[in-house]
Amino acid sequence: MKIFGGYLFDLDGTVYLGDYPLPGAAETIRELMKQGCRCVFLSNKPIEPVTKYQEKLNAMGIPVKKENIINSSIVMAQYLKGIKEGLRIYLIGEKPLADELINAGCIITDNPLEAEYVVVSWDREFNYKKLNDAMQAICNGARLVATHPDRTCPVPGGVVPDAAGMIAAVEAVTGKKCEEIVGKPSPWTVTAALNRMGLPKEDVLMVGDRLETDIKMGKMVGIKTALTLTGVTRREDLEHSEIQPDYILETLADLLKGEIYEE
């Protein structure tokens, strides 16, 4: 297939699974970089700071700068900062996301009646108190937003629940829908990524393992998409999906093969 000027790479299930690079991923990305391609890495996962992603990729032999990694925490922080400085937030989420919001000038409050916004994200310590606090905040007039819509996260041996479960719980008890979900496939994430890339969208390929986020996002903005079968999506899933990629890859190594054609 053709070599694009820039690549937007999903991480979990595309470049690595857990702490291990997927077959051919590191070698392929290094070769693309060697050929002068620009690579930006995207993740909806908000439970680690960007520096951890950088360290992880570097340890796998993928040289990447912190500035070329975007996760849903960064996008959420930019989104809230654009509303106003000092926004009071009730957060269902973990410390790396809280740190990112605080760095953007937000104020994290434990008092739901002070909150102007409720931010819901993946929280592995989600409990009844947090659900009740979020409900009280929203009933008191706080607005509801979320980092990302993923139902599960791929891990070695299977998947684990992700942010969609927390979002659904808050929506169910309040009767309110999220006003914005800023992670993939939202315009907020793809705009941040394309701005970081600095290339016309015709010269960019979105590569990921999820039809409903990675591939959908690329389709929404008119960039080419490649689905890799190393994560949550199986080839048979395509038979029942309205979202169809431009390319299908067994692994990232297929990006450098000439015989991969548009579907």
Domain ranges in the chain are 6-44+184-256, 73-181
pLDDT value, residue 261: 44
Place of tokens 């592995």: 124
HSE-CB at 176 with a 13 A cutoff on CA atoms is 21
Reduced to 3 states (helix: H, G, I; strand: E, B; else coil), residue 209 is coil
Mean pLDDT by 10 residues, the chain (263 residues): 94 91 95 96 94 95 95 97 96 98 97 98 98 98 97 85 97 97 94 93 95 94 95 92 96 82 45
Matching CATH number, 6-44+184-256, of 3.40.50.1000, 3.90.228.20, 3.40.190.10, 3.90.1150.10? 3.40.50.1000
242's CB contacts (< 8 A; 6+ apart) are none
Query: What pLDDT is recorded for position 258?
Result: 64
The predicted pLDDT at position 202 comes to 94
Query: Structure pTM?
Result: 0.88
Token pair for 214 = 């990675």
The answer to whether 175 and 191 have CB atoms below 8 angstroms apart is no
Rg (the chain; Cα; Å)? 18
Same fold, 6-44+184-256 and 73-181: yes
Amino acid 262: pLDDT: 47
Burial class (CB in 10 A: 0-12, 13-18, 19+), 59: exposed
| CATH tag for 73-181 (out of 3.20.20.370, 3.30.565.10, 3.40.50.1000, 3.40.190.10) | 3.40.50.1000
d(CA 145, CA 60): 34
**CA angle centred on 169, ends 110 and 105, rounded to 5°:** 35
Q: Are 209 and 189 in contact (CB under 8 A)?
A: no
Looking at residue 263, its pLDDT comes to 45
